[in-house]
Amino acid sequence: MQQILIDTDPGVDDALAILFAMLSPELHIEAITTVCGNAPVAQATQNLLTILSVLDLDQFPVIAQGEAAPLVKPLVTAAHVHGEDGLGNISQLRNADGSLLYRPANTEVSSITGIDLILEMAARYPDELVIVTLGPLTNIAKAIRKDAPKMRHLRKIIVMGGVFEAYGNVTTTAEFNIFVDPHAAHEVFHFGVPVHIAPLDATHQVVLTGERLHAEVDKRDSPVSRFLKDSTQACMEFYRQHVGFWGFHIHDALPIGMLTHPDYFESVNAYVQVETEGTLTSGMTVADLRRERQSSNPNAQVCIKVAAEAFLDHFFERLQ
Ligand code: RIB
Ligand code: CA
């Protein structure tokens, strides 16, 4: 059983990734920390509680709220993609009697900070804990700043973020998680703990169409499937209008799949740097991924290829 901490900015694709992880028996989701990103961190924390309410849990991961602002840059959120509430506006859905269709789970948010929960878990599971980051890397960078010796004992950090040989999704050159906090990404990538990156180059290979999603949802009638349908409508409409297809990329599900079915993913070693000051290129991840140029001192593995259809089948096998 792999000991996992998820750091997240839910976020519609974060929601699907969290459900995927919680429904994967290989993984023990010991703790979940929230970070500012798709939504302000207080909203992200409320969204996490709502996501967990969809599952019939008798035991919850420890939850703690993380940083409200990036290390240096002003916060940029993504309501235009994920809805005003960050979860596809499901907070507007009502039952016939007018009550909320989706309510936060009946569990506590820890009184300690996200950073302190990360450090507590790193100390509890030395050389075993894997941190999966689904949002900006602010919490991880601040945990390293606060207690680097503890963080050195992380087994691995799996990062959804960056883009290398394709266009960005915020600017031409930058992917959202790195764009929001490039300084944090720089510090994490150069800290020395093994880093495995799932960039847009990989996540864009997985195309979840609205037709496929609805077909899968219609096969089941479960709280998870109903949440899948309800939470993704706004995001898929954004994609229809701005990306060119009705559906979306389940970016954040890939790091989870890299743990549950690693054989579906191919990666290369690389020396990854982050542009933190560029006027046009702030948040750009820079690495030479050509096999003949593989770095002699790599600081990360970068996923470059996904068995997309097999991964989607695996994803839906879990989200029942
Ligand atoms: O660029 C995609 C990433 O940014 C995903 O993690 C999405 O949830 C947003 O946080
Ligand atoms: Ca995210």
Phi-psi sector, 107: left (phi>0), alpha (psi -120 to 50), beta: beta
- In this prediction, residue 228 carries a pLDDT of 97
Closest ligand by atom to 38 CA: 1
Q: Please identify which residue in the block is written with the tokens 């070693």.
A: 269
Per-residue model confidence (pLDDT) at position 128:
98
Q: What is the SS3 string spanning 149-209? A: HHHCCCCEEEEECCCCCCCCCCCCCECHHHHHCHHHHHHHHCCCCCEEEECHHHHCCCCEE
Contact 37, 11 (CB under 8 A): yes
Please name the amino acid found at residue 220: R
Return the pLDDT at 293: 81
Look at residue 230 and tell me whether its pLDDT is greater than 90.
yes
Gap between the Cα atoms of 199 and 209, Å rounded: 20
Specify the residue for token string 């969809």: 54
In whole angstroms, what is the distance from residue 273 CA to residue 299 CA? Answer: 9
Residue 75 DSSP one-character state: P
pLDDT tens digits along 17-31? 999 999 999 999 999
Task: With a cut of 90, say whether residue 261 has pLDDT above it.
Answer: yes
State residue 294's pLDDT score. Answer: 81
Query: pLDDT-based confidence at 292, cuts 50/70/90?
Result: confident
d(CA 16, CA 24): 12
Q: How far apart are CA 194 and CA 31, in angstroms?
A: 20
- What is the rounded average pLDDT of the residues 59-78? 97
Q: What is the rounded average pLDDT of the residues 22-45?
A: 98
- Mean of the per-residue pLDDT values for the chain? 97
What is the position in ligand 1's atom list of the atom closest to the CA of 135? 10
Residue 11 Cβ inside 6 Å of ligand 1? The answer reads yes
User: Is 82 tagged catalytic?
Assistant: no
* 267 neighbors 257 (Cβ within 8 angstroms): no
Pairing of strands 285-286, 273-274: antiparallel
Segment 181-191 shows an average pLDDT of: 98
pLDDT tens digits, 120-171: 999 999 999 999 999 999 999 999 999 999 999 999 999 999 999 999 999 9
Average pLDDT over residues 273-299: 93
Q: What average pLDDT does range 82-110 have in this prediction?
A: 95
Both tokens of 51, joined, read 């996501």
Residue 277 has pLDDT above 90, yes or no: yes
Q: Which residue has the tokens 């996904």?
A: 306
Helix (H) or strand (E) holding 219: helix 210-219
Establish whether residue 114 lines the binding site of ligand 1, counting it when its CB lies within 6 angstroms of any ligand atom. no
Ligand 1 mutation pick, 160, 239, 250, 256, max ligand atoms within 8 A of CB: 160
pLDDT at 1 over 90: no
Q: What is the pLDDT of residue 117?
A: 98
- Phi first, then psi: give them for residue 53, nearest 5 degrees: -70, -20
Distance 174 CA to ligand 1 centre (A): 12
Task: Confirm or reject: Cβ of 16 under 6 Å from ligand 1.
Answer: no
Least confident segment among 136-145, 157-166, 255-264, 291-300: 291-300
